[in-house]
Amino acid sequence: MGNHVHLLVTPQDRDGLPRLLQRLHSGHARALHWRFQRTGHLWQARYGSVVLDENHFWTAMVYVEQNPVRASLVQAAGNWRWSSAAAHLKDADEGWLDFSAWRLQFNPESWKRCLQLGLADAQTAERLREATRSGWPLGSDQFLDGLEREHHAKVRRAKPGRTATKPTDSTSKSLPLAAFATRN
């Protein structure tokens, strides 16, 4: 993971994530520019983010903690220096992780099994990647319905293309293709 990082965060308010990442990006860039006597852009692009329901949150955590293993950087997730996997596998809060929700669902042994089993299928991993790329929320229908009610906005991607218009009266009904055929 020399070219990117994954953060699973739950902001306290609407502006929490942008504020956090702005501080991280600018502070990190300033330090590296000073250290290497450089200027200019350090980060390639804006960060990707996605709203997840609880089930997809844990799925994303497994995905993120397995990433170094999938990239053949380590044999086991807990061996990656920059991962929260080691802390989860030891149940050792190092002061920068919030274990409260994790401990309600898991313990080190159950988490080890999750990491060993991995994601249920490749389709799940691709749905996580696509949601992150697009920014569309990922969750159950009930979760998405709740987001739509709470924010008074659509949170599901519409089908591509124009929406079909419904006829307004009996004269505007669709005609069969044969009605347009020319006769010899």
One domain, residues 23 and 60? no
Q: In terms of residue numbers, what domain contains 25? A: 12-47
Examine the domain organization and report whether 38 and 60 are in the same domain.
Answer: no
pLDDT higher at 45 or 37? 37
CA separation (Å) from 64 to 119, 182, 184?
Answer: 11, 62, 67
Are 76 and 136 in the same domain?
A: yes
Q: In angstroms, what CA-CA distances link 93 with 64, 87, 121, 138, 145?
A: 18, 6, 30, 28, 35
Residue 51's pLDDT is 92
Same-domain status, 56 and 147: yes
Measuring CA to CA, which residue among 153, 125, 138, 110 is closest to residue 63?
Answer: 125
Do 128 and 37 belong to one domain?
no
Q: Which two structure tokens, joined as six digits, stand for 4?
A: 């990117």
pLDDT band at 166 (very low <50, low <70, confident <90, very high): low
Residues 87 and 114 in one domain: yes
- 172 within a domain of the structure (yes/no): no
- At 180 the pLDDT is 42
Q: What is the CA radius of gyration of the chain?
A: 24
Total number of domains constituting the chain: 2
